[in-house]
Structure 1
Amino acid sequence: MDAIHLEDLAFFAYHGLYDEEAKLGQRFHVDLTCWIDLQKVCETDEYADTVCYASLLKTVETAVTETRFKMIERLAAQVIEAVFKSDDRIQRIRIRVHKPSAPLPVPTGKVSVELLRDRPPQG
């Protein structure tokens, strides 16, 4: 299946387990892949036959910045839920949420989580 990628999207938000993270906030980076059949837009070259990148970006931004989560795993799941709701054509999503300023007991390093989900059956 075909895919649309949005990479290294940066957002300032207040996620984290510790009180300081809720007060001070930090930058989060998101990589998103959405699997969708792009055959039609490849043939028609029409905007309506694809998923709007700007709309995807806005959906991710809203999910990342409007609700606070203690765990970035839950944040990643929230983004997936929002993206699936945004466009029925998206069949699979992979997200990686990077937390570059995670409180680690070493001077350098990064933390990220990755989720891969298929669209839940419609019921």
Structure 2
Amino acid sequence: MTDAYTGDRIILKDLGFYGYHGLFAEEKKLGQRFFIDLELGVDLTEAAETDKLSAGISYADIYDTVKASFESQPMRLLEAVAQNVSVALFDGFEKINWIIIRIRKPEAPIAMVRGEVAIELQRVRKAK
């Protein structure tokens, strides 16, 4: 990991969603479960020192943004889903400096007895 992904972070793990993302017709028709793990780089100093809700970011608002982005349109690739979620989080929360997002697909249509497939993207807010 690079130095860009250091410091304070908000972590949301095992966020479960049902979606219709995938390459195959069955995936698009029947859907399946997906799980998202997030690490969001945010300076939490003010929230830690003041104990004020307004100094932080609402976890519920983060979840709602992820859910809306995840469910907005079916995609073929998990990479595209993760990119859309990352863009929505950067657009919705100015305090987020970087994002690590992992999307897991436990029922991927491959011949495996146990396990899951996953992708992980790491994104840094682009300078304006």
TM-score (ref. length: structure 2): 0.93
How far the C-alpha of 1:105 sits from its partner, in A, is 2.0
Give 3-state SS (helix, strand or coil) of 2:111's partner: coil
Paired residues for 1:2-13 under 5 Å: 2-13=8-19
Partner of 1:10, secondary structure, is strand
Q: Structure 1: which 5+ runs fail to align? A: none
CA RMSD of superposed structures (Å): 0.7
What is the aligned partner in structure 1 of residue 97 from structure 2?
A: 91
Please list the CA deviations of residues 9-28 of structure 1 after superposition, one character each: whole Å capped at 9, or x if unmatched.
00001000001100000010
Aligned residues: 122
Partner of 1:81: 87
Aligned to 1:35: 41
Q: In structure 2, how many angstroms separate the alpha carbons of the residues matched to 1:99 and 1:121?
A: 32
Divergent runs of 4+, >6 A:
none
Matched, 1:109 2:115: yes
| CA displacement at 1:121 relative to structure 2 | 1.0
In structure 1, distance between residues paired with 2:112 and 2:55: 47
Deviation of 1:68 after TM superposition, in Å, equals: 0.7
Identity %: 39
1:48 aligns with 2:89: no
Task: State the distance in 2 between where 1:43 and 1:109 align.
Answer: 42
Aligned partner of 2:40: which letter? Answer: C
TM-score, with normalisation over the residues of structure 1? 0.97
Paired AA for residue 10 in structure 1: G
Q: Which residue identity does 1:105 align to in structure 2? A: A
